[in-house]
Structure 1
């Protein structure tokens, strides 16, 4: 046995000695700056630990460097004109990620410093650097990053872009068959670190397959010759009246041709709302004074998941696919109403799920084809009890809605001689919607309701063609025309939508943009159903079978000075503008909420964006918007409507850099919206103050954020109607003030180890 042991030992020693040259590995690493951006053309010098030169290389466009030899131990010296020299001693093939600090140059007591611009103009598009935005704010996800952009405000749970009637949300330049609420849910679960840049287009060309204004969120999509994983985990606790919480995990993989990202978030939401109404309701016999207090408590679980896969088939040819799922579980909504007219209770249980799949292919010769599919399902049950002065009502109602929507598109771009470009394509959307209500009335309950079971089919055929021209480095132009055939059941319509954009940049300080766009906005499917839903014994919601899409036309002129000061003048005209408004029924004591079409709505205004800094410790961004608005409807139920007012918006975002070591940032934001109108409805002014503190530590891998929103609970608008016999006051008593604490940890640079594969050539049968 000893003889064989010695022989085996000699063989192993011989194999080890002879294989050493074969398993010698390369030394690899990556060079980044303090903003986590790759540093290109940095010189990397390899020395022995006693400073003897071995080799030198230059980093590539992604910051990677490779040495063909791996000494036992070595010293690396990193040099770049814009960064401080850095030295690192290491052993092994993985040199890791090296972060270089920016260089300050002092000449005769004059310090030369630069400021990375927040925005730049590119062929009519305002491009915001998301990394700079992240440095200057405490935004923790893509949705909050949007709210930090100049001109974007959140009002009534909608995102508004000043100077634009409606705003489309694009992801990586592509629209989705998901609605805006579902897209916002996705953005709230997308980490801010995953956003590369945000593009704002007041007049989006037809090649984007949307019309009007658009905001494009470009997500990071890294490619690397040396595959690695990176990720982020975060936890959020939010205290309103009730405690809320959420957690998020994001993983992304970057390879030479393949990249992938996985995002999952789960949360619990518990909210309260309260509204006091004082209604002076006129019927033919007399005027009734009705006071009701509505209190609503809602809670549900929320799960969101997204999986994206990108594969670069060859240079310029890529395939993208993504799945997005959103699930609301265990929904419970309780509404209690008490007053001098009725006492009612409503208990609603609900579930909701949404699945979206997108497959997109881009070819090197300018072809882009894709398929986008969304399935949505939302069943619910309401148990309603109402005690009137003279009778008692009780019923159960089962509600359902299922939507299947397909979007098929194909587009072609051509680069023609002399700076011309040509694009054209098709964009077809097909939707099937099934919805209904099934009432179960107790004996003796007298309600004028009917069961519904509706099947709707919607078809949209869109054909577009456009051209763009770069006359020189200063002047660019784009023009596109879209023709659309729309069909919803028996309603059919042809329409043409032109879009025009002219951009002139006489110098780096001055940019002028002139644009015109047209768009169509569609109501939700539920709004167009013959349904009736009871909110309490006095208030109910009704659908409108005759509701139609609206068409708007917008013209704008934008001036940008030094890449940061922005002035935008705009005019918008919306034909058949629709909105959900309350109306006191002339036939019964009922306050009816129903979406209806006005004849038109128009507005003209001017917005100014003025950022400035005080040293390196205080960054300010101010936005001022003033507009004149008018709503007109000749037949608003049994009255006519022609109302107008002036509205102002003031926004001021402040970031204070309290300390660089440790990194502490304080964010202080103010927003004011003056009184405005919506049909016969007057909305009071609102304002709010937000305060946030961000601490970054553990080599910029960990963040702790404390955020207080609407600290004085003043961003809750009240409503009032006093117009041609309609008289109603709504006092909103919601607690909007909340405090949130978020902890985030990022891990990156984990590179896959290369392992020898097992020989299985003789296995199997």
Structure 2
């Protein structure tokens, strides 16, 4: 029997509507809009940008969250009553409210950490260092993370790492450090790390130090890698800093840095403008030992740079496992350079025959841009090491430069007259990268990835001589240089790591395709080569205080653009530097054994290393008619054996000593134009940094540096020592910093070298002198004041 649907009587509709409204009201009643005000324990000062989280009491997961406004007030919509509310802020103990039912929570009081310190002390909260196969890991403990320190101060506590008062980062005494955040490049790590002042210590999980990189990293040589690993649940809120600097010689800059973090987004930006001057004095001797003729040169120059930088970026947390990051960077520089050089020519009897002054006026503009797009996926919520990272990086640099050289003769005849040069330079570089890491078990991990890097360069260079009342192009000195290089790399690594011992092996394959062309003369050079780069690392942990690590890697140094570009600056026509389009790459096999000992406030690293390099790239002098042309050439092999010591000691709370020392002995085999240049020599360098933490929140730092002289294939490079001094005063609980720094306090850093050969003698001297800078920085929101050194971003 069929049943028919009968529409409800119109009289029933008001009842249905009322029932529907009642049900909607019941559903709506399940959600709450919570409000309240967060204040310090005094009950007066509001806590702005405090983090407010709604947590499921059953699972412990955060359901939603927000931050307080500048009056300490928050408004948070939660899906249902009965949740746990957690309120926290840097420097305060978190406050929890269980089973929230009321919509208006009134005043919530946060107590400073110091008031509840005895209740939260946990063993093992001090920062510690451990070996992890191919790297050392510095785990940030509560002694730093709750101190309100910046990332720069955290780095200064890492063994082998020093950060001077200007924010410049050194690893093993060397400044050639690549800094990563969560394993990837970031514009926040540009400018010698100064922008790291906007990252606070409570956001940092650990710092990884890599001195002998595994196959995962590019095979291109580097002084080392520092990777800052951020916590997954970073404190939300606003970090920011504004800085102003002035100094002598001209060093004036203004910088603003902001980092705003919400539940889904991390927005950051930096703006910097500045004006700097780099003065220089120089001297030179070119002596032809065959004819007895000598050319003496002595001059001074100043390079002035006006620059503008803008960085904008965001991290979008799609969900707990997916993050998308985009960063853009624009920069524009205006350069002027003025120089004058006096020349004197002496004959074989040391009699003056010719003298003239050469004056240079150079103008240049340099627009630049950079972008980075990065995607990161975590596959397992409980295992953050199972990840896929896809990234694309692009940058461009162009230069439009013109120089005019004027000659004024005072004795005899000038060997070079008035000239002009023009440069139209453009470079673009793109990098695409995919990295995948998969833990197979608790002890075994595999990694694999691909990378492609492409570099495209064009450089128009022209020289004109003043002849017959007009400037005429000199064809033999003018040309267009085109440079293209593509590097395709793939790698795979496998690692086993137990509580005390581990081993990691890897192989990287790189295909390089390089071509250069001098367009006007149709001189072409093409290179295509495939290389294998194996790596092997192991470590053993004897105890919490003693560990050892050993590693092997094969590295490559590819000739850079200016090593290949044959053009040069003709400020001094008797001493010119030029590239070599036919230069080949050099290869290095690197072996390293390092031990670390940590006892109380003393940490000591000691290591020995051996490097064997083939096709060594070295600049040599070619001398003719008193003109020295310095070009890079592939010249034999080098075997280097060295020892390195690094120690950090804090005998008392207010004094920290940090020292680095590196000594090596090397054997060179080289043959140039049928002449053997085999020899053995040694070199060393050291650095001692003494930091005093004085009363009234004043830090005083003295850094002494020493570099020995050493022998080269054709001559010798002189050694030197110099000192940097800095003073920093914190006010307003670290939100404002006043600093004074003096670089090369005694003006003793001198670049001096000579070449002695059977038919010529060369001597060159260069000095820049003392730099004094005074700065003021103010941090707002959660950010601590940072020292913006006024450096250019590229």
Q: Same fold (TM over 0.5)?
A: yes
CA distance in 2, matches of 1:693, 1:116: 28
Counterpart secondary structure, 1:321? strand
User: Offset of 1:326 from its aligned partner?
Assistant: 3.0
In the alignment, what sits opposite 2:312? 307
Instruction: State how 1:251-400 maps to structure 2 within 5 Å.
Output: 251-283=258-290, 286-329=291-334, 331-341=335-345, 342-365=356-379, 366-386=387-407, 389-391=412-414, 393-400=417-424
Distance in 2 separating the partners of 1:684 and 1:513: 34
Asked if 2 retains the 8 angstrom alpha-carbon contact of 1:559 and 1:566, the reply is: yes
Question: CA-to-partner distance for each residue in 1:574-602, whole Å, 9 max, x for gaps?
Answer: 22222445x251x3221223222222233
Kindly state the Cα deviation for residue 165 of structure 1 after the two structures are TM-superposed: 12
1:430 is aligned, of 427, 434, 454, to 454
Q: Aligned-pair distance for 1:734?
A: 3.0
Name the counterpart of 1:109: none
| Candidates 462, 466, 486, aligned match of 2:512 | 486
Aligned to 2:591: 555
Instruction: Give the secondary-structure state (helix, strand or coil) at the position aligned to 1:530.
Output: coil
Aligned counterpart, 1:25: 35
CA drift of 1:556 comes to 0.4
Q: CA offset at residue 527 of structure 1?
A: 2.7
The 3-state SS of whatever aligns with 2:563 is helix
**Cα gap change, 1:463 to 1:133, in 2 (>3 Å):** farther
Q: For residue 543 of structure 1, what is the aligned residue in structure 2?
A: 579
Cα 1:722/1:430, change in 2 over 3 Å: same
Bigger RCO of structures 1 and 2 (CA < 8 A, at least 6 apart): 2
Q: Distance in 1 between matches of 2:773 and 2:119?
A: 37
1:565 aligns with 2:604: yes
Change (3 A) 1:166 1:612: closer
Question: 2: CA distance between counterparts of 1:128 and 1:714?
Answer: 35
Q: Is the 8 A contact 1:236 1:245 kept in 2?
A: yes
User: Secondary structure at 1:544's aligned position in 2?
Assistant: coil
User: Counterpart of 2:547?
Assistant: 511
What SS does the aligned partner of 1:700 have? Answer: coil
Q: Distance in 2 between matches of 1:37 and 1:573?
A: 55
1:173 matched to which residue of 2?
A: 183
| 2:679 is the alignment partner of 1:643 | yes
Per-residue deviation, residues 244-297 of structure 1 (Å, max 9, x unmatched): 1112111111111211211121111112100111232235xx122221102111
TM, length-normalised to structure 2 = 0.75
Alpha-carbon distance, 1:169 to partner: 4.6
Q: Aligned to 2:569, what secondary structure does the other structure show?
A: strand
For the 8 Å contact 2:177–2:226, the answer to whether it is kept is no
- SS of corresponding position for 2:477: coil
Q: CA-to-partner distance for each residue in 1:54-101, whole Å, 9 max, x for gaps?
A: x9987779865454468787574748xxx5326xxxxxxxxxxxxxx7
User: Which ranges of structure 2 fall in alignment gaps of 5 or more residues?
Assistant: 1-28, 42-48, 56-82, 346-355, 380-386, 516-525, 784-794
Q: Which residue of 2 is the match for residue 474 of structure 1?
A: 500
- Alpha-carbon deviation of 1:454? 2.4
The answer for the alignment partner of 2:747 in structure 1 is: 713
In the aligned structure 1, how far is the partner of 2:219 from the partner of 2:288?
A: 43
**Is 1:746 aligned to 2:760, yes or no?**
no
Equivalent pair of 1:221/1:259 in contact (CA under 8 Å): no
Distance 1:113 1:467 in 2: 33
1:230 alignment partner, one of 239, 247, 251: 239
Distance verdict in 2 for CA 1:224–1:127, change over 3 Å: closer
Change (3 A) 1:550 1:398: same
Paired position in structure 2 for 1:669: 703
2:513 paired with 1:450: no
Report how far residue 610 of structure 1 moved: 2.0
**2:523 alignment partner in structure 1:** none
**d(CA) in 1 for partners of 2:104, 2:340:** 75
Kept in 1: contact 2:754–2:763 (CA 8 A): yes
1:7 equivalent in structure 2:
none
Measured in 2, the distance between the counterparts of 1:220 and 1:743 equals 28
Match of 1:597 in 2: 634
Equivalent-residue separation in structure 1 for 2:677 and 2:318 (angstroms): 59
Q: How far, CA to CA, are the matches of 1:713 and 1:192 in structure 2?
A: 33
Deviates more, 1:112-121 or 1:428-437: 112-121
Alpha-carbon spacing, 1:407–1:116, altered in 2? closer, same or farther (3 Å): same
Trace 1:76-95 onto structure 2 (pairs within 5 A): 76=109, 78=111, 84-85=114-115
Partner of 1:753: none
**Contact 2:94-2:110 within 8 A present in 1 as well:** no
Distance 2:570 2:439 in 1: 57
CA gap 1:152/1:339 in 2 versus in 1, 3 angstroms = farther
Which residue of 1 is the match for residue 10 of structure 2? none
- Give, in angstroms, the shift of residue 206 of structure 1: 2.5
Asked if the contact 1:381–1:396 (Cα under 8 Å) also holds between the matched residues in 2, the reply is yes
Distance 1:670 1:115 in 2: 33
Query: In structure 2, what is the Cα distance between the partners aligned to 1:314 and 1:584?
Result: 62
Instruction: Give the CA deviation at 1:693.
Output: 1.6
Residue 577 of structure 1 is aligned with which of 586, 599, 616? 616
Distance across 2 between alignment mates of 1:216 and 1:674: 27
What are the Cα deviations for residues 612-637 of structure 1, in whole angstroms up to 9, with x where unaligned?
Answer: 222212111122221113343211x5
- The alpha carbon displacement at 1:149 in A equals 6.6
1:16 alignment counterpart? none
Whether 2:737 is the aligned partner of 1:703: answer: yes
The answer (yes or no) to whether the contact 1:166–1:212 under 8 Å persists in 2 is: no
CA distance in 2, matches of 1:514, 1:339: 54
The offset of 1:520, in angstroms, is 1.3
1:729 aligns with 2:783: no
CA displacement, residues 150-175 of structure 1 (integer Å, 9 cap, x when unaligned): 37799xxx998559997545454225
Which residue, out of 242, 250, 253, partners 1:246? 253
Equivalenced residue count is 669
How far apart, in 2, do the equivalents of 1:130 and 1:544 lie? Answer: 47
Cα RMSD for the two superposed structures: 4.1
Residue 213 of structure 2 corresponds to residue 204 of structure 1: yes
Greater shift after overlay, 549-558 or 161-170? 161-170
Distance 1:440 1:339, change over 3 A: closer
Pair 1:172–1:237, CA change in 2 (3 A)? farther
Alignment of 1:22-171 (within 5 A): 25-27=35-37, 64-65=94-95, 67=97, 68=100, 76=109, 78=111, 84-85=114-115, 116-117=126-127, 119-128=129-138, 150=160, 162=172, 168-171=178-181
Q: Which moved more, 1:251-260 or 1:362-371?
A: 362-371
Q: Which of these residues, 531, 545, 551, is aligned with residue 567 of structure 2?
A: 531
**Residue 301 of structure 1, CA deviation:** 0.7
Deviation at 1:679, TM superposition (A): 3.5
* Unaligned ranges ≥5, structure 1: 1-18, 42-54, 87-100, 106-111, 751-765
2:193 partner SS:
helix
Bigger shift: 250-259 or 55-64? 55-64
Q: How far apart are the structure 1 equivalents of 2:50 and 2:605?
A: 27
